Every structure is written in structure tokens, then in C-alpha cells.
Structure 1
Amino acid sequence: MRFAIPFIVVDLHHLLLAGLPAHLCENAKAINRDRASSSLKAVFGAHIASAFNFKIELENIILVALRTFAFSHSPGHFQTWLRVGIGGCHDMRQTMTSRVQTFTPPNTPKPIGPYSHIAKVGEHIWIGGTAGFDPATGTLTGADVGAQTRRIFESFKVMLEAVSSDLNHVTHINVFLLHMSDFEAMNAAYVAMMGDHRPARTVVSVRELPKPGVLLTMNLTAVTRKR
């Protein structure tokens, strides 16, 4: 029994290293090996300590127990594998299927950066910054804020429909105006497109927008029609 105790302590300590970055794991492994060897020499002498580099059956017992625990306590989207070995770092690898779905539907303006137009988690929807570009031509729809506002909402309709939603299920809209003097003209076009639905809204004036001629951009949050 005394012989097994040092190995139990060492193995559990190594298991705590699971998931550490490789360089930290290697450093901790070296420190622990030195401590364990010193402890074994003090208790059993050099001959027993030299057996430290060999695998023993105990680690298989611990491995089975930990695998059982990991699979029974981990979330549904996770699978965990533990590889246990006294002579090397332990490797804990996790794979996760993301709950976040992303979309850039057809018949919407091409994103101008590394992003998708839509992100969706369950019934919750986020649509990123959208300007008044015509998806068919790639050019701005008009040089006035009213025309660009209407074009943005036309794009919103297509995006929302792609994720089983619509303008009546919008919960919040952010409006980024290049000129706050366009506030009333934007409001008129906004009401014409939104009808009686009045989600929460934030309007801010910005110093500049990414593309020449763009007078405003909008983004929004929404929910699906059905849960």
C-alpha cells in the first residue's frame, strides 16, 4: 500500500495539468518528475525510484474513472478524451459544435469585411451593420438618407426571412448617422418601412462610415416567429 501512494499522488497531480498550454505543461511535468523521484528515493531507495519511468496498472484504473466522470458530467456538445501517462504530459482535447449559426443570404449586399450578415442562437437573431447598397448592382441606392434607409430595410427583410423572422419580430435597432441633420428624413423612411411596430432603438451620429457616399448604417436584433 505504501508503494502505491506516491504513484497516486503523482498521477493525480499530472491529471491537474490537463488543458494547460504545452509549454506550461512541460515545465510543470519536469518539476513534478523531480519532486516525485526525490520522494521515491527517500522512501524506497534508488532501485525503486528508477521504476518511476515505467507505466503501472494504476494509471489505467484512474483513466477509466476519469473518462467515466468526464462523459457523465460534460455538456451535450462536448466530448473529452484524456490520455494519461506518467512519463508525458496529459492531453485533454475538447471538440465543440458551436451553437452559433451564421448566414449571409443571397440577394443581400456583399459584406465588406470578414463577417456574416446574420448570427443566430436558438430564437435569437443578430444582424450586423448594413448600408443602403443594392445587392444586384453593388452600388448605393440614391444619394439621400431616405432612399438609403429604405434600401437597408429591404435588405433586412430578406435577411430576416432567411432565419424565419420579419420586421415585426425586431427587438432593437441601432442607427448610425453620418449627419444628425438627417434625423427627421431617416425617421420618415423608417416609419414607412416599419409600420406600427416600434422596437427599442438607438440613434447616434458618427464621424465617418466605411464607404464613400454612405449616409447611415443600421444593425438590429430580433427573434424568430416561433420558438
Structure 2
Amino acid sequence: MAGEPQIHCVNPADAAPPGGHYSHAVTAGGFVFISGQLPVRPCGTHAPEADFTTQANQALANLFAALAAAGASRQAIVKVTVYVTDIADWPVFNALYAQAMGEHRPARTVVPVPVLHYGYRIEIDAIALSR
């Protein structure tokens, strides 16, 4: 229909399928909106008992997989929100994030939360520019 917004839902082949009624990413209006990415392994198995570094690296990998499937790069990220269940993990995440992002420094927010799904310690969402 003419005038309808162009919205495209994206679920990367190299990531676990969404665990609910959502898409890993949606492109609309020149942006890519990445849903909250938990540290779920690409095969769909869970490991909430994994150490924080392992969880953070998997959540970042899931975020980057959704971004790539939407046709965008890390350098296109404009805003990141990170949810952590223990603010004491923030310095570890910050170091991992800095290594993963390199010189690119999008806007970022950290939100301490009491609990995350499946007992995970971190979840990450983002907004990026689409091509």
C-alpha cells in the first residue's frame, strides 16, 4: 500500500530463533532496532551459570549477528543499552565492549536490574543506522 512505512524484520540464520513474539532486529525509517540480546548460544541452548565474561561476549556476538543480518556494521551503531544484574560487572563489560567497538563510541546507557530472563547477568539492545 502506498505510503506504508517500509519495515523489515530480521532474524539471523547464525543465531538462536527468537524465544518469543519478536524479531532480533527491525529496519525502519533508516534505522536498525536490535532487540535485547541475551547470551543465548546460537544453537539455542542456555548457560546462565557461565561466568560474566562468557555471557557478555556471547551477548555482544548475538548483537553483532543481528546487526550484520540487517545489513549494518558496528560503526553504524548510534545507541546501546546494557542491562546488568550486578553493577560490579560493569568494569569488565566496559573493557570487553571497548575492545569489540574499537574507536567507535556510540551513546550508551547501563541499567542495573534485579533479574533477567533465564537467570542471565547481561542483556544488550541497540539502535543503528541502516544502509
> What is the TM-score when the length of structure 2 is the normalising length?
0.89
**Which has the larger share of strand?**
2
One-letter identity of the residue aligned with 2:121: L
- Larger relative contact order (Cα-Cα within 8 Å, sequence gap ≥ 6): 2
One-letter identity of the residue aligned with 1:223: L
Counterpart in the other structure of 1:204:
111
One-letter identity of the residue aligned with 1:218: I
Q: How does 1:1-227 map to 2 (within 5 A)?
A: 76-77=2-3, 97-140=4-47, 143-212=50-119, 214-224=120-130, 226=131
d(CA) in 2 for partners of 1:107, 1:126: 18
One-letter identity of the residue aligned with 2:53: G
- Residue 137 of structure 1: CA displacement? 5.0
- Alpha-carbon deviations, 1:107-145, whole Å to 9, x = none? 112222211111111421100111111112522387222
- Residue 210 of structure 1: CA displacement? 1.2
Gaps of 5+ in 1: 1-74, 78-96
- Does the CA-based 8 Å contact 1:109-1:134 persist in structure 2? yes
- Give 1 or 2 for the bigger CA radius of gyration: 1
SS of alignment partner, residue 117 of structure 2: coil
d(CA) in 2 for partners of 1:137, 1:128: 16
**Which has the larger share of helix?**
1
Stretches of 4+ moved more than 3 A in 1? none
SS of alignment partner, residue 211 of structure 1: helix
d(CA) in 2 for partners of 1:163, 1:142: 30
- Alpha-carbon deviations, 1:151-191, whole Å to 9, x = none? 12212222111122111110000000001111111111111
> What is the TM-score when the length of structure 1 is the normalising length?
0.54
One-letter identity of the residue aligned with 1:154: A
d(CA) in 1 for partners of 2:75, 2:50: 28
- Does the CA-based 8 Å contact 2:17-2:44 persist in structure 1? no
One-letter identity of the residue aligned with 1:199: P
- CA spacing shift, 1:215–1:114, aligned 2, 3 Å: same
d(CA) in 2 for partners of 1:222, 1:111: 20
One-letter identity of the residue aligned with 1:186: F
